[in-house]
Structure 1
Amino acid sequence: MTMHDDQVDVTTDVVAALVQEQFPRWSDKAVQRLASTGTVHAIFRIGDDLSARFPLRLADAAEVLAVLEQEARASAELAQVSRFPVPEPVALGKPGAGYPMPWSVQTWLPGTVAFDADPSGSDAFAEDLAAFIAALRGAETRGRLFSGGGRGGDLAHHDDWMAKCFEESEGLLDVARLRQVWGHFRELPRMSADVMSHGDLIPGNVLVAGDRLSGVLDTGGFGPADPALDLVSAWHLLQPGPRDVLRRTLACDDLEWERGKAWAFEQAMGAVWYYVESNPVMSGMGLRTLERILESKE
């Protein structure tokens, strides 16, 4: 089942043809599709050291190229401030072989995503995660501000989306209770200036080795946002004990911590219903995050 109504099918044969046409120096490398819980890109491995990312949702090619170019710049910038491995941009591909949009090539990172190697009970992992977030917060914004798109600005600007989520979640969740929770979250004031942020610290974007953080994926969204945004990781990735470790290490005050919980709530509400049939792992993540948030308020 496809995840999106406008989803583009990408096959191994198509990717192999694109590589042969546009990057013949890699034509001797095996192409392998990777099983992924990702919702934005189809991921293919090229040989042992590269990965290719193909946007899943049909969009104007010029607009996609602009996004991919911006993501490449952001990924390269994040790589300069993170002590944990992150993918680095290698090349941009063009439409062809039946695929209608540009696509990107990055370095390949070994490791196991946190969906498959659950680090939620590890204090050491929480300390690593805090160190990653702190490094991003310490990077210069160079006068840049939140773009206004997606999460990371004003919570109340998401009211329309949350209304749709509540409507779609009837029969799946205790919507009456969740509406009350959002009523509290949407009123939380914004007191702090933007800092640099990853923007999507969910289990599928975090690599684990043993009980430690070994790498971070999907770094193209690196940019200025609410300092609380990366605290979604506390609720998507951690149990109560390690969650407290993350909070203490980052010295989060009550307001910042509550806003991080609010951003996690907003993301989780969308994941549950939207992916309930097409991506059960993502839907399950949303359910678990909501449960953690509700338990914290009891």
Structure 2
Amino acid sequence: MDDPQPTIDTDLVRRLVDAQFPRWRHLPVSPVAFGGWDNRTFHLGDKMTVRLPSAASYSLQVEKEQRWLPKLAPVLPLPIPEPLAMGEPAEGYPWHWSVYRWIEGETAKTGRIADPLAFALSLADFLVALRGIDPTDGPMPGQHNFHRGGPLALYDGEATQAIAALEGRIDAQAATTVWEAALAATWSGSPVWFHGDVASGNLLVEDGCLSAVIDFGTSGIGDPSCDLAIAWTFFEGASREAFRARIAVDDATWARGRGWALWKALITVAGHDANQTEVERQRRAIDEVLADHQRWA
């Protein structure tokens, strides 16, 4: 039986902050709208947030972000989260937790982006800069990031089971072809930095432009193809082509990127716990991946 998850609410955050960081005791605590699932996020005054992992599997990310985000930030072209303090387990809460500086901006949505082409290029430039950072001693794929940056073969069972479950709802033969092509496009390069979850909810927009990249919980060093999934989950047409040209990866890496996008879309559509809006979004992503493979293969 799984261990019961702690109740994470405003009262808990208030107690934790008051006991461990009394200098912030005077600041109000309130939930952040759409504060995430892997972590629960709360405003601490107007300039900070408190972020608490919601389960043990996410708690490994706290110390990683505390260590590495300050080293990555100075050499990246856009703001990323800035850790201000790390809290200790207490008050019945069993894991480390973080205080971050608040970053202004709204999550990326089509209607909030002034120029999709410029947005795609800006994101590609950010990921190229991230790949170029010295990876020495960086975190290799593992439990801390659910093996992002590792071989796609780790997810073969999930992907093939989902394809079988979706027989009749998707083109299962085409999906199998794309998945097998992704598995065959093995990676043998030197490890580079990647974000691990480049999704619209982790991209912030101000004045219609990409303004920050957040949530580095699945970051690490390894194969960066997992960062390409957004090409099919968010971009389309000219913006996807601009993203591909600017990020300048080889065909094999692009094929593995299709694999990452396909895996996530398949397990979401075949699952039972995703909301209908997300299922429909990922259903469209499957179509985009299959069409892209047919175009370029």
Which range, TM-score by smaller chain?
A: 0.7 to 0.9
Alignment counterpart, residue 272 of structure 1, candidates 252, 266, 269: 269
In structure 1, the partner of 2:293 is 297
1:28 matched residue in structure 2: 26
Q: Which moved more, 1:25-34 or 1:173-182?
A: 173-182
Deviation per residue, 1:260-279 (Å, 9 max, x gap): 111122222233344x5455
Q: Which residue of 2 aligns with 1:211?
A: 208
TM-superposed deviation, 1:207: 0.4
Q: Which amino acid aligns with 1:190?
A: W
AA at the equivalent of 2:63: E
Note the C-alpha offset of 1:243: 0.8
SS in 1 for 2:85: strand
8 Å CA contact 2:114–2:209 kept in 1: the answer is no
- How many Å apart are 1:201 and its aligned residue? 0.3
Tell me, yes or no, if the aligned pair for 1:113 and 1:208 is still in contact at 8 Å: yes
Q: Look up the match of 2:77.
A: 83
* 1:234 matched to 2:231: yes
Q: 1:101: how far off?
A: 2.4
The aligned amino acid for 1:69 is: E
Cα deviation 1:42-76 (Å, max 9, x = unaligned): 111111111111111246xxx93x54212211222
8 Å contact kept, 1:75–1:87:
yes
| TM score, norm. by length of structure 2 | 0.85
Q: Distance in 2 between matches of 1:28 and 1:121?
A: 42
Correspondence for 2:220: 223
The Cα offsets for residues 14-65 of structure 1, whole Å up to 9 and x where unpaired, read as: 2112212221211221211123273310111111111111111246xxx93x
- Which runs of 5 or more structure 2 residues have no equivalent in the other structure? none
Question: In the aligned structure 2, how far is the partner of 1:157 from the partner of 1:277?
Answer: 22
Structure 1: gaps of 5 or more residues? none
Matching residue within 40, 50, 53 for 1:52: 50
SS across alignment from 1:208: strand
Q: Distance in 2 between matches of 1:172 and 1:108?
A: 42
Equivalent position of 2:248 in the other structure? 251
Q: Is the CA contact (8 Å cut-off) linking 1:121 and 1:241 kept in structure 2? A: no
The whole-number CA distance in structure 1 between the counterparts of 2:139 and 2:23 is 40
How far residue 123 of structure 1 moved from its aligned partner, in angstroms, is 0.5
Q: Which residue of 2 aligns with 1:287?
A: 283
RMSD of aligned C-alpha atoms?
A: 2.8
1:104 to 98, 104, 108: 98
SS of 1:10 mapped into structure 2: coil
1:70 alignment partner in structure 2 = 64
* Contact 2:149/2:220 (8 A) holds in 1: no
Query: Who is 2:121 aligned against?
Result: 127
How far apart are the structure 2 equivalents of 1:242 and 1:51?
33
The count of residues paired between Structure 1 and Structure 2 equals 290
Residues 272 and 55 of structure 1, relative CA distance in 2, 3 Å threshold = farther
Q: Separation in 2 of the partners of 1:81 and 1:157?
A: 32
State yes or no: 1:92 paired with 2:111. Answer: no
Q: Which deviations, in whole Å up to 9, do the C-alpha atoms of 1:66-94 show, x marking residues without a partner?
A: 54212211222221221201111111112
Asked if structure 1 preserves the Cα contact closer than 8 Å seen for 2:178 and 2:293, the reply is: no
